[in-house]
């Protein structure tokens, strides 16, 4: 390096993440596990509230994972982001390791093993896709709302990927109709069962989408449920 020059270097650091776990007294035996990822500028608490409102969610162990990069909102609330374009590949790897560790710990503690669903909203949609593809924990389905398929997954092989419930509001501006159509095409070209849901609304959870998510959970939990991806 020339004198006075600048190098960008990286070093691994230990960062503690946070996740919320809710198990209702009515859940008996090895529980079904629904793991969710919030959107940009949201929190695990807010996402857990949304998961609770899905019909039939009371039969599942609910886990809401908080992104590793917190910041203050304009309302002075602590919210978080999954990543930015800075050091993107390293952030993706860090996030996948983080989620894999969370799921492993929840399984160890609760005995949840047979049925696992990942759910993501907005920026968290990419995390749901990545967790299903790369976390190492077999799952039976992915619920995504208002967020797109990560480009590295769209360009790679997704053999054995589970069914996907994909939602978008008709007034959605960020995850527009063209992006949704492109994701549906990319997934179906790989033989993945994609179930699109277009509903009245914007970039938000609605009762219509929650009903679709509840039906998806019921189908996964039924006798004809989809096999886990390898």
Q: Do the domain assignments include residue 230?
A: no
The yes-or-no verdict on residue 27 having pLDDT over 90 is no
pLDDT for the residue 227: 43
Q: Do the domain assignments include residue 192?
A: yes
CB 147 within 8 A of CB 40: no
The yes-or-no verdict on residue 96 having pLDDT over 70 is yes
Determine the Cα angle at 99 with ends 115 and 54, to 5°: 50
Mean pLDDT of the chain: 91
Q: Do the domain assignments include residue 13?
A: no
pLDDT for the residue 26: 63
How far apart, in whole angstroms, are the C-alpha atoms of residue 85 and residue 95? 14
Q: What is the per-residue pLDDT across 4-16, written as a single tens digit (0 to 9) for each?
A: 688 989 898 888 9
Domain count, the chain: 1
Query: Which CATH number does the domain housing residue 102 bear?
Result: 3.40.50.1820
Q: Do the domain assignments include residue 226?
A: no
- Burial (Cβ within 10 Å: 0-12, 13-18, ≥19) of residue 180: buried
- Reduced to 3 states (helix: H, G, I; strand: E, B; else coil), residue 165 is strand
Q: Do the domain assignments include residue 24?
A: yes
Average pLDDT over residues 21-48: 87
**Where in the sequence is the domain holding 204, given as residue range(s)?**
19-221
Lowest mean pLDDT of 14-28, 131-145, 170-184, name the range.
14-28
Average pLDDT over residues 185-211: 96
Q: Please state the separation of Cα 132 from the chain's center in Å.
A: 8
The yes-or-no verdict on residue 226 having pLDDT over 70 is no
């Amino acid at each position: 390096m020339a004198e006075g020059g600048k190098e960008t270097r990286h070093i691994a650091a230990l960062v503690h993440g946070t996740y919320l776990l809710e198990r209702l007294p009515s859940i008996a035996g090895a529980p079904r596990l629904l793991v969710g990822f919030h959107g940009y500028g949201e929190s695990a608490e807010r996402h857990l509230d949304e998961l609770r409102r899905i019909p039939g969610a009371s039969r599942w162990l609910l886990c809401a994972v908080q992104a590793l990069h917190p910041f203050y909102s304009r309302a002075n609330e602590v919210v978080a982001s999954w990543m930015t374009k800075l050091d993107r590949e390293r952030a993706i790897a860090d996030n996948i390791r983080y989620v894999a560790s969370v799921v492993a710990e929840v399984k160890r503690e609760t005995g949840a093993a047979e049925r696992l669903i990942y759910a993501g909203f907005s920026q968290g949609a990419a995390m749901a896709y990545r967790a299903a593809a790369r976390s190492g924990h077999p799952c039976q389905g992915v619920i995504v709302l208002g967020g797109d398929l990560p480009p590295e997954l769209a360009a790679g092989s997704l053999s054995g990927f589970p069914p996907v419930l994909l939602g978008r509001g008709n007034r959605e501006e960020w995850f527009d109709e063209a992006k949704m159509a492109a994701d549906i095409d990319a997934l179906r070209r790989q033989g993945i069962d994609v179930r699109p849901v277009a509903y009245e609304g914007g970039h938000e959870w609605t009762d219509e989408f929650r009903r679709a998510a509840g039906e998806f959970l019921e189908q996964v939990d039924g006798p004809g449920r989809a096999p886990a991806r390898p």
